[in-house]
Amino acid sequence: MSGASAGRFPDFERQINDSLKEVALELRSVDVIDLASYIHTLKLANVGDLINSALELYFKPHTFVFSYSGEVELTWFGRPSVSLDMELHNAGVDVYFCLVIEALAVGVHINFLSVDGITWNEPCDALRFSEALEGARLPAAPNTGYFRKPPTDIATLPQ
């Protein structure tokens, strides 16, 4: 699979794919055997924790979520492939999609798209979709990339 998609929503799939590249890179830091084991043994809460840890670096809470479903393709002569069912909920846009992570590629396949509760079987308002996707991101901090708020229950050292 490559970043390009032949699904019903190729432009939207590309946008989500581009947005989640950093998340996929974070998830690649997890040993694929561990990830495969968690999925195979249905320890999906562990997978969810790993995904949420990666998402919280770049996105606002609860905008992208793991759907607690996934599959792994491991063969003797092929490259591993991990498929994770994900959701995007922001600004009235709801997208259910599959994030596919491979050794050298990341891909997205949209399974369901609705805007303001209306289901779409073809691309809808591209500007609205782009704004919802961009609105899910954490605000950028000057010269530091994306800003991650520290947990409020951790005491900070006096300066």
For residue 75, pLDDT beyond 70: yes
Whole-angstrom Cα distance, residue 113 to residue 95? 5
Residue 147, pLDDT score = 54
Pairing of strands 118-120, 106-115: antiparallel
Between 138 and 123, name the one with better pLDDT.
138
Q: How confident is the model at residue 158 (pLDDT cuts 50, 70, 90)?
A: very low
Of 16, 55, 17, 12, nearest to 146 (Cα)? 55
Query: Average pLDDT of 114-133?
Result: 87
Domain boundaries, the chain: 10-143
Whole-angstrom Cα distance, residue 5 to residue 2? 7
Residue 150, pLDDT score = 47
CA of 105: how far to CAs of 12, 53, 82, 88, 139, in Å? 17, 21, 11, 21, 27
Q: How confident is the model at residue 3 (pLDDT cuts 50, 70, 90)?
A: very low
Its pTM stands at 0.81
Of 69-73, 87-91, 148-152, the one with minimum mean pLDDT is 148-152
For residue 2, pLDDT beyond 50: no
